[in-house]
Amino acid sequence: MRSILIIEDDPAILKGLKESLEQENYHVLTARDGLKGFEMAKRENIDIIILDLMLPGKNGQEICRDLRSTGVSAPILMLTSKKHEMDKVLGLELGADDYVTKPFGLRELHARIKALLRRKADLPKDIDQYSFGSIHIDFKKREAIKRKKPLKLSLREYEVLKYLIQHEGEIVTRTMLLDEVWGYDVFPTTRTVDNYILSLRKKLEDNPAEPCHILTIHTAGYRFVK
Amino acid sequence: MRSILIIEDDPAILKGLKESLEQENYHVLTARDGLKGFEMAKRENIDIIILDLMLPGKNGQEICRDLRSTGVSAPILMLTSKKHEMDKVLGLELGADDYVTKPFGLRELHARIKALLRRKADLPKDIDQYSFGSIHIDFKKREAIKRKKPLKLSLREYEVLKYLIQHEGEIVTRTMLLDEVWGYDVFPTTRTVDNYILSLRKKLEDNPAEPCHILTIHTAGYRFVK
DNA sequence: TAAATCTTTGACATTTTTGTGACAAATTAA
DNA sequence: TTAATTTGTCACAAAAATGTCAAAGATTTA
């Protein structure tokens, strides 16, 4: 089930939205002010955020910008009151993905939510370049550079690294890697994964014995941090 | 840096777009009406044009058509308002390359701009002369020279080399070569490709055993670098 | 027509990649 | 603390991909 976070101070609108969306079978979380909403968006795993532009405490624009800079990538649907045409543009500038102006119809809202979810699903963030520490990687060209010097990585190494980076900050289990990188039809040992981690660390980390990008999460898996 | 020309009459949208795109490190030129925009597009060296369909003076469709007939080949991204579904199609027919409907999310817009730039870059430039290392090649006359001395290359060798050079820096797979150079109607082995690489290396590389122009990308293909 | 050249293939050598097990080190749980 | 589990590390072997050569067809040239 998809999770929607609504950040809205008007209790009447909030209630109406919540009920309507729950009827559409979404899991709905709510926050009455900007700060709470911001915290929830960071903490919970949200698929889409509905955000009122005018809020007490921390307004929609600020939240929008802060969420983006914190790395929250869930699409944001902005609610604006009709009078402030300008705010539309401002809101969009700050990283919102779409907006509706009050008063809005629920059917329109549902349509936009669906569109945003679809759009997100369509775009599995495909990175073809990435930099961290003294490393620069071009996944498309299969080139890796560390301090101006070329690095040789095998195909699997590129794939494992890419998967880790795509899930930056998240825990990646060995099973996830085996399933997604190796595929569902082959069954190497989980030790195989460890060995790829080992060699990636040797090549990428300044001090492979004390890695600072590819971290071990004991009893769970690994995590990439920038 | 890439140049973007925005032709849009609504000052709020124009301002928002300009600032957002400048933040993304594009060089942004703007025009408030169709005629000015048309003149700028002809005069300046533009990488991509963002064009509002509804404009005072000269509308988007006319500009689109006029630009194309004047020989301006920069990709055009059309902005349309939701009400005119039909206009979309018309706009595309007139030579636009993509469109977004207002209201649009800036992230979507950025993605589409990137896609258009990438698509443009995809079209391989036709080269008829090229130099690298101690080699000079004239594809048109079918002549190759290495250190003042003529080199003999067969037709296929020229074609394979040309394809590699046209995709300089990128990975070229054996399948790509077979499809594009040999054609879709014949089916030689992928080993055939390797043999052409071999003979090209022998003729072009100073040390064929350690090639520095035609590189092997293991499990993927080959890559030409200058 | 024969000779020369070009194209393609297969065989074998070499290199690179990949996966595994053994053992050491680290971490967790009792 | 110790025992059990998990992870780090290394060396090695199997598998896969590529390099290389020679030779057989195909095509063009003389």
- Protein CA at A188 to nucleotide C1' at C20, angstroms: 9
Whole-number pLDDT of residue B163: 93
**Overall average pLDDT of the A26-47 stretch:** 84
**Overall average pLDDT of the B2-7 stretch:** 92
Q: In terms of domains, do A12 and A103 share one?
A: yes
- Protein CA at A158 to nucleotide C1' at D7, angstroms: 22
Q: Residue A200 — very low, low, confident or very high, per pLDDT cuts 50/70/90? A: very high
Partner-chain contact A95 B107, CB within 8 Å? yes
pLDDT(B88) > 70: no
* Pairs across A and B, CB distance < 8 A: 48
Q: In terms of domains, do B157 and B85 share one?
A: no
Domain boundary among A70, A105, A122: A122
Q: In terms of domains, do B139 and B166 share one?
A: yes
Q: In terms of domains, do B14 and B113 share one?
A: yes
Q: In terms of domains, do B191 and B151 share one?
A: yes
Q: pLDDT digit string (tens) for B129-165?
A: 899 988 999 988 888 898 888 888 999 999 999 999 9
pLDDT(A150) > 60: yes
Where residue A206 sits, what CATH number does that domain have? 1.10.10.10
The reply to whether the predicted model has a pTM over 0.75 is no
Domain boundary among B122, B152, B169: B122
Q: pLDDT digit string (tens) for B54-87?
A: 777 777 777 887 887 777 778 888 887 654 444 4
Per CB-CB distance under 8 Å, the chain A contacts of B106 are 92-93, 95-97
The overall average pLDDT reported for chain A is 82
Q: In terms of domains, do B201 and B118 share one?
A: no
| Domain encompassing residue B185 | 129-224
Q: pLDDT digit string (tens) for A43-65?
A: 777 889 998 877 777 777 778 77
Whole-number pLDDT of residue B140: 86
Q: In terms of domains, do B109 and B156 share one?
A: no
Q: In terms of domains, do B182 and B99 share one?
A: no
Q: In terms of domains, do A8 and A76 share one?
A: yes
Partner-chain contact A119 B108, CB within 8 Å? yes
From B14's Cα to the closest Cα of chain A, the distance in A is 9
Q: In terms of domains, do B202 and B108 share one?
A: no
Q: In terms of domains, do A33 and A71 share one?
A: yes
Joined together, the tokens standing for residue B147 give: 């250190």
Domain boundary among A103, A122, A141: A122
Q: In terms of domains, do B166 and B108 share one?
A: no
Whole-number pLDDT of residue B184: 72
pLDDT(A96) > 80: no
Overall domain count for chain B: 2
Where residue B117 sits, what CATH number does that domain have? 3.40.50.2300
